[in-house]
Amino acid sequence: MAKRAFDIRRQTGFTGIAIACFLMLYMPIILLVVYSFNAGTSIAIWEGFSWRWYASAWENDLVQEATIRSLIIAFWASALSTSVAVLAALATTRTRSFKGQTAVFAVIHQPLMVPEIVTAVALLIFFAMIKVATGYNGLAYLIIAHSAFCIPFAYLPIRARLQGMDLTLEQAAADLYATPFQVFRRVTLPQLWPGILAGAMLAFVISLDDVVITEFVKSAGQDTLPTYMLGQLRRVVTPEINAISTALLGISVTMVIAYTLLSKVRN
Amino acid sequence: MTDLSQNAARRAIKTRWMLLAPALIILAFAASGPLLITLVYSFLTPGDYGGVVWDFSTDAWFNVFLQRDIFDDTLGWSDAHLSIFWRSVKLSLLTTLACLVFGFPTAYFIATRPKQHRDLWMLLIIIPFWTNLLIRTFAILELIRNEGTINTILIALGIIDEPIQMLFTEFSIILGMVYVYLPLMVLPIYASMERLDFRLVEAGYDLYATRFQVLRRVILPLVKPGVIAGSILVFVPSLGAYVTPRVMGGGNQLMIGNLIELQFGQGRNWPLGAALSITLLAIVMVALLAYVRVAGKEEVQHG
């Protein structure tokens, strides 16, 4: 009589595999973070807690330069891609389908579909031509390249936000003789902010994390944090890399959680 | 009257394209345009020190799959390239399969949690997905390298004397890719699974189906679109993977991405690299078209 109720949702072994999956996802990252605090030089033998690798990363000139470069690029790429994504979202949302719509969507989403290595090689070829023609070797190439692949990431949350927005407020403003620009500034933009912020943060994280395109586009001495790390992996690895990784992880995780919260803000 | 509305319509079209222009210009400059130039480059002659000479040639396209024997000038399959293509396809398929084996039960597990907890579980899947791919690859690397965590523990426990060579093998590449792309499998399967009507599962049990029969005959057909979508979403980036095989394969287990890079480095054959890139892009596009068709069907089904 005391037989347990038959659970129709149970599938033998699924819970076990799911838990193994979560462990597999998080164990390596947790170990990576833990060993960034290792007092010894090993990434596998624990010798006590210390901040020494954070200090050594902090004092490493190459790391400092790469960090600043990464942040500059991510800032500009995020600002640029989000601004143009807002305009593009305004043009493509809440309208009937228009001539050339498929082509526009294909171009906007291209960075999501084309393998990164293909884009990287294409940019290497194209920018090499420009570098030869103009002699300019600065950071602008990386900023433009990052802006381009950040556009779809900024565009998607902004578009989602716009689609969920109430049209009647804008109509009311227009009825009260507001100019289109006033409607945008006073009515649309304030409602759109969470979407814009979410898009900008996503773009920032995507830019900050990029390895492949940066590796192919950068000129000599233009390492970002990820390409610096990629170069270091060939040598003997010390927990310094763990310390840099942990710092980067901290930024990403904070931004992703903030992004999730922001995209839940109700209209 | 019609003139006025026509004017308004024309103005609306003009505004739309003006709003789209900045985004399209950036993308044309740093995404679409360079791809076209790559296509042009694949028909040129390689320069001696990298770069190209502007002479038309189809050699690069020949060399994607074929090679000319240097002694008797006969054409034959390019074994080196074919084996790299084959490895890429094989490892990508195995990665997809492994992601499915782990991802399906995980998506099911999340979909059967109480409603208020599901978002949190999904967040746990999404966080690793948005964290740096290189860092996650590096985290796995630390785990399995010879002086890494697993080997150190096993030696300390006295189970093995010599470290097991796990890094720089095909296994380590698959492990790395599964680790990195697993969320791409869980997300679409969960999206299908969340809409699963468990009354159908119950009906199956009422008709004396076993658990396995319910899984195979009721659940799987209903979430099939999610499974197909997830498989393509994992397969596509695996095929074009560059960082994971470079870090986990250690330069002797090349995949297509690494072969492409080689042409721009030591190989100094930019046209061949361009032709290989376009080939990879073509394969990926075919897979993505299949995905669009599946996704389109699913939308129709669910209204």
pLDDT tens readout for residues B68-86: 777 777 777 888 899 999 9
Q: Is position B34 within any domain?
A: yes
**What does pTM read for this prediction?**
0.89
What is the tens place of the pLDDT at every residue in B85-94? 999 999 999 9
What's the pLDDT score for residue B299?
Answer: 59
Percentage of chain A beyond pLDDT 90 is 56
Does residue B44 sit in the same domain as residue B166?
no
State chain B's mean pLDDT as an integer: 89
In B207-246, the residues whose Cβ lies within 8 Å of chain A are 211, 215, 236-237, 239-240, 242-243, 246
For residue B281, what are the contacts with CB-CB under 8 A and spacing of at least 6? Answer: A114, A115, A118, B35
CB atoms within 10 A of CB B2: 6
- Half-sphere CA count of B147, side-chain side, radius 13 A: 8
What's the pLDDT score for residue A115?
Answer: 93
Mean pLDDT value of segment B259-280: 93
**What chain A residue is nearest to B106 in terms of C-alpha separation?**
A18
Mean pLDDT value of segment A187-212: 91
In A48-77, the residues whose Cβ lies within 8 Å of chain B are none
Domain span at B49: 2-61
| Nearest-CA distance B72 → chain A (Å) | 34
Of A241, A201, A239, nearest in space to A66 by CA: A241
Of A28, A35, A64, A59, nearest in space to A238 by CA: A35
The confidence band for B198, taking pLDDT boundaries of 50, 70 and 90, is confident
**What chain B residue is nearest to A124 in terms of C-alpha separation?**
B34
The first and second tokens of residue B290, run together, are 């299949």
Please say whether the beta carbons of B292 and A102 come within 8 A.
Answer: no
**What chain A residue is nearest to B181 in terms of C-alpha separation?**
A25
Q: Is the pLDDT of residue A245 over 60?
A: yes
Does residue B267 sit in the same domain as residue B294?
yes
Q: Is position B25 within any domain?
A: yes
What is the tens place of the pLDDT at every residue in A135-167? 998 999 999 999 999 999 999 889 988 888 878
Q: Is the pLDDT of residue A237 over 90?
A: no
Its ipTM equals 0.89
- Domains identified in chain A and CATH numbers: 60-264 (1.10.3720.10)
Lowest pLDDT segment from A262-266, B48-52, B163-167 = A262-266
Mutate to test the interface with A, among B14, B25, B26, B140 (most CBs of A within 10 A): B26
For residue A108, what are the contacts with CB-CB under 8 A and spacing of at least 6? Answer: A88, A151, A152, A155, B23, B27
Of B72, B64, B69, nearest in space to B43 by CA: B64
Does residue B217 sit in the same domain as residue B117?
yes
**What chain B residue is nearest to A201 in terms of C-alpha separation?**
B130
What's the pLDDT score for residue B102?
Answer: 95
Domain boundary among B36, B61, B86: B61
Q: Is position B214 within any domain?
A: yes
Does residue B102 sit in the same domain as residue B210?
yes
- A157: contact with B, CB 8 A cutoff: no
Mean pLDDT value of segment A207-221: 93
| Nearest-CA distance B180 → chain A (Å) | 9
Q: Is position B36 within any domain?
A: yes
What's the pLDDT score for residue A1?
Answer: 46
Of A252, A230, A237, A210, nearest in space to A35 by CA: A237
Does residue B155 sit in the same domain as residue B193?
yes
Q: Give the angle A87-A90-A94 at the CA atoms, nearest 5°.
A: 165
CA distance B175 to A84: 38
Does residue B57 sit in the same domain as residue B80?
no
For residue A198, what are the contacts with CB-CB under 8 A and spacing of at least 6? Answer: A157, A158, A161, A259, A262, A263
Local structure of residue A5 (DSSP, 8 states): P
The confidence band for B243, taking pLDDT boundaries of 50, 70 and 90, is very high
Mutate to test the interface with B, among A15, A92, A118 (most CBs of B within 10 A): A118
Helices A189-209, A140-163: axis angle to 10 degrees equals: 140
Does residue B158 sit in the same domain as residue B35?
no
Does residue B108 sit in the same domain as residue B217?
yes
Q: Is the pLDDT of residue B303 over 50?
A: no
Residues of A in contact with B144 (CB under 8 A): none
Of A64, A99, A227, nearest in space to B12 by CA: A99
Does residue B136 sit in the same domain as residue B282?
yes
CA distance A48 to A45: 9
The first and second tokens of residue A23, run together, are 């462990």
Residues of A in contact with B205 (CB under 8 A): 6, 8
Residue type, A156: L
Helices B133-144, B149-156: axis angle to 10 degrees equals: 20
Domain boundary among B61, B85, B101: B61
Mean pLDDT value of segment B34-39: 96
Q: Is position B204 within any domain?
A: yes
- A233: contact with B, CB 8 A cutoff: yes
Q: What is the CATH number of the domain that holds B182?
A: 1.10.3720.10
* Tally of structural domains, chain B: 2
Domain boundary among B37, B61, B85: B61
Please say whether the beta carbons of B84 and B259 come within 8 A.
Answer: yes
Does residue B78 or residue A72 have the better pLDDT? A72
Q: Is the pLDDT of residue B1 over 60?
A: no
Report the DSSP beta bridge partners of residue A91: none
Lowest pLDDT segment from A69-73, B263-267, B298-302 = B298-302
Does residue B50 sit in the same domain as residue B163?
no
**What chain A residue is nearest to B136 in terms of C-alpha separation?**
A29
CA distance B7 to B3: 6
Provide φ and ψ at A155, rounded to 5°: -65, -45
What's the pLDDT score for residue A204?
Answer: 93
Mean pLDDT value of segment B203-215: 89
Residues of B in contact with A22 (CB under 8 A): 106, 124
Could B130 and A256 be called an inter-chain contact, meaning their C-beta atoms sit closer than 8 Å?
A: yes
| Nearest-CA distance A107 → chain B (Å) | 7
The first and second tokens of residue B177, run together, are 């890719």
